[in-house]
Structure 1
Amino acid sequence: MRSSRPYKSPYAAMLWSLVLPGFGQLYNREYLIGIALLVLEFLINLKSNLNLVLLDAFDGDLHSSQQLIDYSWGLFYPSLYAFAMWQAYNAAIVNNNKLEGKAVEKRTYLSGFFIGLAIGMDLGLFLHDSPFMKVSTFLDNPVLNGIMFGMLCGIMAHLVENKYYRKKQK
């Protein structure tokens, strides 16, 4: 007999949300939140000029990319992005626990990483124009700087979560 709740890979769900926020939720068959995240992604992307900024940044036209970005909208994108990946990953784990008949745990996974990712990406976007970042053209780019700071803060937050918070829980 075929199960109405098929196995969902947490990593596949997270990677689908990495492609586009909301795709991981659609993969998990959470259509309402998936469509809501897709609508928010398109709205924030359009209002912040993110696609134009990315195009200019990867073409090497840093001055144009800095002039095009609308920070009042662009600073929402990292939070939406990190939330979509976190929610898709954890929803797949909950789905699999229900499928196996296990009790649903009251914990979440990779919370520190995704909180650090959102904070780091916002910091990278916000701080790219500081004098400290002018030492390199790579660091002066808002998009690449956001990605770099996001990954660094995400890894640090994950390590802190594992070392202190999770050890304290056991």
Structure 2
Amino acid sequence: MDNFTNDNTARRYKAHVSILGTTQLHLRSPYIIAWWSAAFPGFGHLLLSKYLRGFVLFIWEVIVNIQANVNLAMVYSFQGNIGMAKEILDTRWLLIYIPVYIFGIWDSYRTTTDMNRVYILAELEEHRINTFSMGALEINYLDKRSPWMSVIWSCFVPGLGQLYIHRIVTAFFVIFWTVIFFYFSYGLEAISLLFLGEIQEATSKIDPEWLLFFPSLYGFSIYDSYANTVENNKLYEKEQRLFLKKNYQSSSFRILKGKKVN
């Protein structure tokens, strides 16, 4: 395939291949994106490749959640100790946590509907996209990869699935916070003690406030890597089809619909 850069000769582009990853527009469910924003503020925006907004909301969630003791209150609620959950919540932080949390859900839903409209217009325009990018530090190109391999690597360590499909920005961010969460939750130390049969000591080592970040982080990493692998494969097939049609299909070729050949 020949190289091509997005040089603003089209009004809208469906995708852009850079050394940091493949960014593309495709139809998404606003409800699923909003759900991920509810699961963890920032995740919905990261799914949309709105990185700066996603990073701000994610870091906000971690800082304010810890300061307001939201996760710790959830732990006490799961144990049925509602009185203790109410007592430890810090309302000075909680009252600024709630509006930003709601904003993240609303904004991700709104942005998804807007981007779906832009995708439809870009699909109608059907302008060429670049398929290969080479820089001093990285090489990226459109190709087909296994969605299930993305899931497997994400199950080992969140972020590895993103590295597999060359989503460098998301991969770096997720891996960085995976290390932070493992460190402050004492998760790996607890796992080591479990292997040694020290169940009570492993339980006492765990910091549940930091451990509760992991379900959302693992779930997002698995979903994001799988969904983007599927969409990257679709983009590769479509670009390849358009390339072959333009360069090898005869201009006189026609498909006659509704006629049977005897």
Same fold by TM-score, threshold 0.5 exceeded?
A: yes
Secondary structure at the counterpart of residue 142 of structure 2: coil
Of 3, 14, 30, the residue aligned with 2:167 is 30
Measure the CA separation in 1 of the matches of 2:145 and 2:232.
Answer: 7
Calculate the TM-score normalised by the size of structure 2: 0.38
Measure the CA separation in 1 of the matches of 2:217 and 2:210.
Answer: 11
Of 227, 237, 247, the residue aligned with 1:100 is 237
TM-superposed deviation, 1:59: 1.3
1:39 and 2:159 are equivalent in the alignment: no
Measure the CA separation in 2 of the matches of 1:78 and 1:49.
Answer: 15
Q: What is the match of residue 208 of structure 2?
A: 71
Secondary structure at the counterpart of residue 8 of structure 1: coil
Q: What is the match of residue 139 of structure 1?
A: none
Deviations for 1:74-100, whole angstroms, at most 9, x for unmatched residues? 011121011101110001000001011
Of 221, 228, 232, the residue aligned with 1:84 is 221
Q: Residue type matched to 1:26 in 2?
A: L
Measure the CA separation in 1 of the matches of 2:215 and 2:196.
Answer: 22
Range 1-10 or range 44-53, more displaced? 1-10
Q: Residue type matched to 1:87 in 2?
A: D
Counterparts of residues 89-168 of structure 1 (less than 5 Å): 89-101=226-238
TM-superposed deviation, 1:8: 1.4
Deviations for 1:22-81, whole angstroms, at most 9, x for unmatched residues? 010011110000000000100000000001100111211011001100000001112101
Measure the CA separation in 2 of the matches of 1:23 and 1:32.
Answer: 12
Tell me which protein shows more helix as a share of its residues.
1
Q: What is the match of residue 85 of structure 2?
A: none
Unaligned runs of 5+ in 2: 3-130, 132-140, 240-262
Of 46, 61, 76, the residue aligned with 2:198 is 61
Deviations for 1:141-170, whole angstroms, at most 9, x for unmatched residues? xxxxxxxxxxxxxxxxxxxxxxxxxxxxxx
The number of residue pairs the alignment matches comes to 102
Calculate the TM-score normalised by the size of structure 1: 0.57
Superposed CA RMSD in Å reads: 1.5
Measure the CA separation in 2 of the matches of 1:37 and 1:12.
Answer: 18
Unaligned runs of 5+ in 1: 103-170
Shift >2 Å, 4+ stretches? 1-4
| Matched-pair identity in % | 27
Secondary structure at the counterpart of residue 7 of structure 1: coil
Tell me which protein shows more strand as a share of its residues.
2
Measure the CA separation in 1 of the matches of 2:143 and 2:235.
Answer: 10
Q: Residue type matched to 1:60 in 2?
A: G
Q: What is the match of residue 115 of structure 1?
A: none
